[in-house]
């Protein structure tokens, strides 16, 4: 008897939700569509480069070190580990769905993935190589020379080709088919009552003001600490470093919430270890609202439905260096 009445109760609640839900086109979040690969050879080359630690001075750090495709396209560290174990200044954002971002890096200083890709290679605190050495390394390797020629139709490798191939690969790293997307597309059984309640709260309490669109974020810059100031030891100043405008201090790119269950820890300083903490801080500092434990739990339950199909990656076999390839220098001071 009891079992029956519970089922009946759930049925009513589901019916109410179904009635309230807007059609997918009216929702502030849109589904992610599977990628259509137009240039498979360029994507394959970009994948090789993404996994190749020889783009770093140490020979040990690749793009995948901090944007690990086994771990939601992130490194799951507060601060990344750079050349000779330097501590990174900011939490590594996920590479997944990053093609949907309004710009790249937390402060948006790179306009697109191509521009971003050149940054870490030459950053002394990250991969600590230079564009010149990186290109010299690749040009010395017959396996790369032939691949670049096949993709770009000419001899010789340039840094623009390197970043172009990396960006082409990264553009394929989208994560469709999350349970939330299935719900958006009409499968009303894809979410539980609790998850739907979380989504409703996410909308009604104002989270969607910044976290909207297909990437559930990534499409605007917003101030961290809008209602109450955010206290942190982290020195990053956000957009102000790009625009020179004092008004842009602590303005950061709103991160995507796609796959957020995989991309812990949270915020630009990585100080929120769990989704529960992150939701609590966002509520208080950005919305002036203290979520109850139950509300927080509902929103977290919703956020966990944003994990999509992870990209299927065949691990590349990289072409070996030649005798004249510049050697890595991991321990040279």
3-state per-residue secondary structure call for 247-308: HHCCEEECCCCCCCCCCCCECCCCCECCHHHHHHHHHHHHHCCCCCHHHHHHHHHHHHHHCC
Closer to its own copies at the Cβ: 228 or 274?
A: 274
Q: Identify which of residues 103 and 306 has a Cβ nearer to its own copies in the complex.
A: 306
- Closer of 244 and 320 to its own copies (Cβ): 320
> What whole-number distance in Å separates Cα of residue 86 and Cα of residue 261?
27
The least CB distance from residue 192 to its own copies, in Å, is 17
Q: Write down the least CB distance from residue 324 to its own copies, Å.
A: 9
The residue annotated as part of the active site, out of 27, 115, 126, 294, is 126
13's CB contacts (< 8 A; 6+ apart) are: 193
Of 77 and 209, CB closest to its own copies: 77
126 assigned to active site = yes
| 67 labeled binding residue | yes
Contacts (Cβ under 8 Å, ≥6 apart) of 62: 50, 51, 52, 53, 55, 56
Tokens found for residue 300: 């977290």
The answer to whether 282 is annotated as binding is yes
CB atoms within 10 A of CB 4: 8
Check residue 190 and report its DSSP letter: S
Smallest separation, CB 25 to its own copies (Å): 31
- Chain residues that interact with its own copies, rule: CB under 8 A: 51-54, 58-60, 65, 68-72, 75-77, 79, 81, 84-85, 87, 261-262, 264, 273-274, 276, 310, 312-318, 320-321, 323, 327-328, 330-331
In DSSP terms, 272 is beta-bridged to 266
Give, in degrees to the nearest 5, the angle at Cα 32 between 27 and 34.
Answer: 150
CB of 124 to its own copies, least distance (A): 15
- Catalytic residue set: 126
């Amino acid at each position: 008897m009891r079992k029956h009445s519970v089922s009946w109760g759930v049925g009513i609640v589901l019916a109410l939700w179904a009635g309230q839900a807007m059609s997918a086109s009216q929702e502030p979040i849109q589904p992610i569509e599977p990628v259509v690969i137009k240039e498979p050879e360029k994507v394959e080359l970009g994948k090789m480069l993404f996994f190749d630690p020889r783009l770093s001075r140490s020979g040990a750090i690749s793009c995948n070190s901090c944007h690990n495709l086994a771990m939601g396209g992130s490194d799951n560290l507060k601060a990344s580990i750079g050349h000779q174990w330097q501590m990174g200044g900011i939490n590594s954002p996920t590479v997944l769905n990053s093609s949907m971002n309004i710009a790249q890096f937390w402060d948006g200083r790179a306009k697109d993935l191509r521009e971003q890709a050149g940054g870490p290679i030459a950053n002394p605190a990250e991969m600590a190589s230079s564009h010149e050495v990186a290109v010299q390394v690749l040009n010395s390797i017959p396996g790369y020379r032939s691949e670049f020629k096949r993709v770009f139709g000419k001899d010789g490798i340039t840094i623009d080709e390197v970043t172009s191939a990396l960006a082409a690969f990264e553009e394929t790293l989208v994560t469709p088919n999350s349970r939330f997307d299935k719900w958006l597309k009409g499968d009303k059984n894809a979410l539980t009552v609790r998850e739907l309640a979380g989504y409703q709260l996410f909308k009604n309490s104002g989270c969607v003001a910044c976290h909207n669109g297909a990437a559930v974020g990534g499409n605007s810059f917003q101030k961290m600490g809008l209602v109450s100031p955010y206290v942190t030891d982290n020195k990053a100043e956000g957009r102000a470093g790009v625009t020179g405008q004092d008004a842009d201090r602590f303005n950061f790119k709103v991160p995507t919430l796609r796959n957020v269950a995989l991309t812990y820890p949270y915020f630009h300083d990585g100080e929120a270890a769990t989704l529960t903490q992150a939701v609590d801080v966002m509520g208080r500092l950005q919305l002036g609202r203290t979520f109850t434990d139950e509300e927080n739990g509902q929103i977290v339950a919703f956020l966990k439905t944003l994990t999509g199909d992870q990209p299927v990656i065949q691990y590349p076999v990289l072409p070996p260096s030649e005798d004249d390839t510049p050697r890595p220098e991991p321990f040279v001071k």
